[in-house]
Structure 1
């Protein structure tokens, strides 16, 4: 029985990885914080371990006595009040975990790190848009993207690591795209900017598929983009949500980018004043402003055997059904 450690196990993606590891018959260890919800980690076969990513020595103490075959590092933050927290958690936490595993001499077969397409920023933005390639030079335009890029760079080339760079991940349990569904249910739909925007998505279960393919087939030092293989317009996601909600009446508002800049500036300011992170923040503005989210997933298909099972229509249908069943909508 293979022994796997999954960090960020209580999170959106991490909880699905835990479920798949159990289905595959692995001895599954879920790394959580003392304050983490275990709502989606109720299977009695799950082993829990608390990890302190702020200290290499503390990590070594907590990991001592374990011998993991696989580690999937899904822990991280996507929104922070203070941008330095992105680097403290995403970059420094990754570096310290890798260092602790190395110093303990863990017999790892594979370490999979969940990074992001956001490390590349707004590139290939001249129409017609081209696919972002692994060989392109990253120019991250968000604190989140910068922190993930620096996290990647902190992993030694000799470490048995495979990096996955998903585009926008959605699915059951996800809370950011859920806000769009909630808004549409409330009869308001928003679009950002007037210039064409090419967007890509990947369903959470396809990300999980890629994780386990990377454990088996990934090449050390390789990084793979993940999407469903299709390109969408900015309104396609909301149109499908609208359809699954039974087509309630709605008003669609297309906001110019200059207005979004003002809204997100004050959203960020309000967050700092209240201590509550706003969904409309400076990083979000850069994401809305970016026009090209195309990416080349052929290496994942050819080297990992990755085959996306969910296009946007199927994924949204399953997601909205879950939101309804869970009482979110």
Structure 2
């Protein structure tokens, strides 16, 4: 039986590298889409093949895809996890997360290289803020209204995919993704280890999560079940308050005493603005910016995962407690904590 070819873009990143590992485990001919300058620390397996596609120049991209297909045949599957979550200028989100996706899918169509399935990694933030009165979970049939530059750019890409007649996409909108190799939640865990638990705002906040290994399983379930033109929220199905989440982290770290600090949102907002301005002056993007403030302000991150369970028979391999424990163990083994 001929080995199926899969391209995973953003392969040097947290989610992309985990998807590469799974593709190798499942026996795919695995192509890692990365820039020449990308860190390959998690891409050491000798079976990995590399390709550097120029998403910013459609003409060059078409030439690259044509040359590839002439020599190797088309990719059977593409997982597009490349993108940016922080930027110096908000226009960068549109350029990378929307315009480059548009270039990519157009080039695939125009070179007759459309895969059997194109899995697009979006975000729960593409839908926008949830109900903060009754805390009703977001559903896939709600009207998206993102309030961040990042979420807006992802929604534009989603809508472009939907407009292409017959294009075989699946859109995944994961909630908070955590697990080995992640550096975002590592910041919070280091703070807890140092005895500080910081929260933003005083109203109840509902959070949802997905362990990176479970998110990757969803990707390959979509491939194996030949799912087309669908979109899914991806979460483990449980909901937690921010204090419950921090308690789980505290227990995993075996930290008995932690000082809780709740910072009023009216202080977080100007701090985020100042941080963004300083990063602009220094020429280096920061994760703590005005977009991040809107994310921290949002009180309801719950979402309906019924379609995921129904269509893909998804059941999480890791609940939050087990996932955080596994993540902490990985961090400690590598000296990150």
Q: Normalising TM by the smaller chain, what interval?
A: over 0.9
**TM-score of the superposition, structure 2-length normalised?**
0.95
CA contact (8 A) 1:185 1:248 kept: no
Mean Cα deviation higher: 213-222 or 136-145:
213-222
SS of the aligned residue for 1:169 comes to strand
C-alpha distance in structure 1 between counterparts of 2:155 and 2:77, whole Å? 22
Deviation at 1:186, TM superposition (A): 2.0
* Residue 319 (structure 1) aligns with: 327
> Is the alpha carbon distance of 1:248 and 1:278 closer, same or farther for their aligned partners in structure 2, counting shifts above 3 Å?
farther
* Residues paired across the two proteins, number: 328
Structure 1 gap ranges (5+): none
* Residue 265 (structure 1) aligns with: 273
C-alpha distance in structure 2 between counterparts of 1:279 and 1:69, whole Å? 35
1:192 equivalenced with 2:183 (yes/no): no
Matches within 5 A, 1:64-79: 64=66, 65-66=68-69, 67-79=74-86
Deviation at 1:216, TM superposition (A): 2.2
1:43 equivalenced with 2:52 (yes/no): no
* Residue 293 (structure 1) aligns with: 301
* Residue 228 (structure 2) aligns with: 220
1:149 equivalenced with 2:155 (yes/no): yes
Structure 2 gap ranges (5+): none
1:59-83 CA-to-partner distances (Å, cap 9, x unmatched) read: 1222223311000000001111111
> Is the alpha carbon distance of 1:218 and 1:224 closer, same or farther for their aligned partners in structure 2, counting shifts above 3 Å?
farther
* Residue 161 (structure 1) aligns with: 169
Matches within 5 A, 1:68-107: 68-106=75-113
Deviation at 1:218, TM superposition (A): 5.0
CA contact (8 A) 1:164 1:223 kept: yes
* Residue 63 (structure 1) aligns with: 65
CA contact (8 A) 1:110 1:162 kept: yes
* Residue 172 (structure 1) aligns with: 180
C-alpha distance in structure 2 between counterparts of 1:117 and 1:107, whole Å? 26
Deviation at 1:248, TM superposition (A): 5.2
* Residue 9 (structure 2) aligns with: 7
| 1:121 maps to which of 128, 138, 144 | 128
> Is the alpha carbon distance of 1:222 and 1:320 closer, same or farther for their aligned partners in structure 2, counting shifts above 3 Å?
same
- Large movers: runs of 4+ above 3 Å: none
1:28-78 CA-to-partner distances (Å, cap 9, x unmatched) read: 000000110000000000000001110111112222233110000000011
Mean Cα deviation higher: 10-19 or 307-316:
307-316
C-alpha distance in structure 2 between counterparts of 1:219 and 1:42, whole Å? 31
